[in-house]
Amino acid sequence: MRKTSKNKVLLLMLSMILLLAGCAPAAQESSNTGEASSVETEYAKRITIGRLGDAAYLDPNQAVGVAEITITQQIYEGLVKASEDCKNIVPSLATDWIISDDALVYTFNLRPDIKFSDGTSVTGADWEWSLIRARDAETSGYRFAAEPIESVESDGETVVVTLKEPSASFLGNLCMFNLTLGSKAHWDAVGEQTYAQQPLGTGPYMLEEWNKEENILLVKNPYYWREGVPFTEELNYKVVGDDNTRSLQLQSGDIDIMMDVPFSTVSQLEISQNVKIHTFPSTQIRYFILNTTQAPLDNQKVRQAIGMAIDKQELADIVTLGFGKPAQSLLSDTQIQWFFDGLEYNDYDVEAAKALLAEAGYPDGVEFTISVRSGSQVYEQIAVMLKSQLAKAGINVELEMLERASLSEKYQTLSHEATILQWVDDFPDPSGIMGWTIDYDQCHAWYTGLNDVDLDQFNAAANVELDLEKRMEMYDEIQQRIYDNANVIPLFSNSFVWAASDKVENLKVTPFYVQITDNLKMKK
């Protein structure tokens, strides 16, 4: 196990002291007044953003993918949030907070006079309902973030959260998209099914129009508590289900911003007139997901052999064209204080993979199907390369191309054999990706069906361990054990690459894939 350096521990202890010892300072908010010049610049009322798929719902307690979270994070807010560099926890609807000496009671002071986007005032009942619902909602795969909560009390001026037991990650958990504020009165009036389609929050934008599989139109919240924010009145998220079409629409001006630019099209867009490439640091990793409930993937040695037969360096080089690098740990190395660098990075060995297959009882190799999302150049390219690489070790795979909804249904019901998924961190703590991957009750150990009870219990213990050095050592071991299980095989990490019209200003995306829209604007 890795030995943690003294300086690293001291740095982490200082960081935790700042978070746990007392009150966090309120963030300074700024107002956007436009550009001062002799000739006032005119800006567009609407910015259109092209993306690959539509949301299934806009309820933070059902949101499980980027398609949903991208929208809900503009509509809903929580007590705290991650800073723009995602290294710290900063105020949001709470101005500051105090944590009791026994780390069980969190008292948050609230900003006054906050309103929902329909003009109704936020009440203490809204806070109590929202946080308890995040803990209890059966529709949520992210209940782990609210699971430590024993009770919530709010008088409208403060929110007091009492935990069942100390939780080292809880303040970070509160940055999660599901631990946000919703309107209980709205939910009571429309019911859960309609609530998921008609969101009501306190964020900078609110839902104006939703044409399924076509577009989601957000408009500026007239009751938003930050004066002058956001700058742009309307954000139109347009569904363009094919990467090439989305690229052409950006070049023609049909969309103004292109999310998730395929790496293979970057060079083409760079030379396009009036288009600019934007690159952002990220916590995104692509993973090979193996269903351990189906033979031959129920055999750990087979899964380990598959990992050995994948040339991750070649994958990263060819798919990301310099925007990525091989990944071995489940956790992004941008979470440097938690990242375990002791895993073998050069485990690509075809002959060793063949020998391990023979040892597992498959001397003639194995066969299975990889289910892949259609329309995405990145995922299709990964799948094709995996097929080619694995064949060298006698691992023969078929590729099954599915639309997003069909693929999602297949892996959520464990009907797949293998698929390719991605993860982006949601808060500055390792417990998010660990819980999602290890806790069988959440999502069948991230749709692999592996019920490792001992690892689940060890991970639960790490989540409540308050000794920093010990907790770091525990997460080192967890990363090693996930690597050994080989049910989730990290392939490569990469930067976020977006493209936009050169008229777009202040485009920002955080390492947690939060689009900062406060001062996003576009010249006419």
Percent of the chain with pLDDT over 90: 82
Residues 6+ apart with CB under 8 A from 188: none
- How far, in Å, CA of 291 to CA of 62, rounded? 23
12 or 57: which leads in pLDDT: 57
Residue-wise pLDDT tens digits, 342-353: 997 668 999 999
Residue 14: pLDDT band by 50, 70, 90 thresholds? Answer: very low
Task: Decide if 396 contacts 366 (C-beta within 8 A).
Answer: yes
CA distances from 219 to 3, 71, 107, 224, 274 (A): 51, 12, 33, 11, 26
Residues 6+ apart with CB under 8 A from 204: 74, 220, 221, 224, 226, 229, 230, 517, 518
Give the Cα separation of 54 and 63 in Å (integer). Answer: 12
The yes-or-no verdict on residue 73 having pLDDT over 50 is yes
- Dihedrals phi, psi of 223, to nearest 5 degrees: -110, 15
pLDDT band at 249 (very low <50, low <70, confident <90, very high): very high
Q: Which residue has the higher pLDDT, 23 or 435?
A: 435
pLDDT score for 139: 77
pLDDT of residue 345: 65
330-375 pLDDT per residue, tens: 999 988 889 999 997 668 999 999 999 999 999 999 999 999 999 8
- Residue with the bigger pLDDT between 17 and 257: it is 257
- Mean pLDDT for 462-484 is 95
Render pLDDT for 157-214 as a digit per residue (tens, 0 to 9).
999 999 999 999 999 999 999 999 999 999 999 999 999 999 999 999 999 999 999 9
Predicted local distance difference test score (pLDDT) of residue 172? 93
Which pLDDT score is estimated for 16? 41
Tens-place pLDDT, residues 384-433: 999 999 999 999 999 999 998 899 999 999 999 999 999 999 888 999 89
Percent of the chain that is helix, strand, coil (3-state, to 5): 35, 25, 45
Complete domains list, the chain, with CATH: 40-75+203-282+496-524 (3.40.190.10), 77-185 (3.90.76.10), 285-494 (3.10.105.10)
Dist CA 172 CA 145 (whole Å): 9
Residue 103, pLDDT > 90, answer yes
Over residues 129-138, mean pLDDT? 93
Q: Which residues of 6-27 are buried (b: 16+ CB within 10 A; e: fewer)?
A: eeeeeebeebeeebbeeebeee
pTM of structure:
0.84
Cα–Cα distance between 423 and 261 in angstroms, integer? 17
Average pLDDT over residues 497-506: 98
Helices then strands (H, E): number in the chain? Answer: 16, 23
Q: At what angle do helices 300-308 and 468-485 cross, to 10 degrees?
A: 90
pLDDT band at 38 (very low <50, low <70, confident <90, very high): low
In this predicted structure, what is the pLDDT of residue 63? 61
pLDDT of residue 22: 39
Residue 30 has pLDDT above 70, yes or no: no
Side chain identity, residue 302: V
Mean pLDDT estimate for the chain? 91
Q: Beta strand 366-373 with 418-423: parallel, antiparallel or unpaired? A: parallel
CA 137 centroid distance within chain = 19
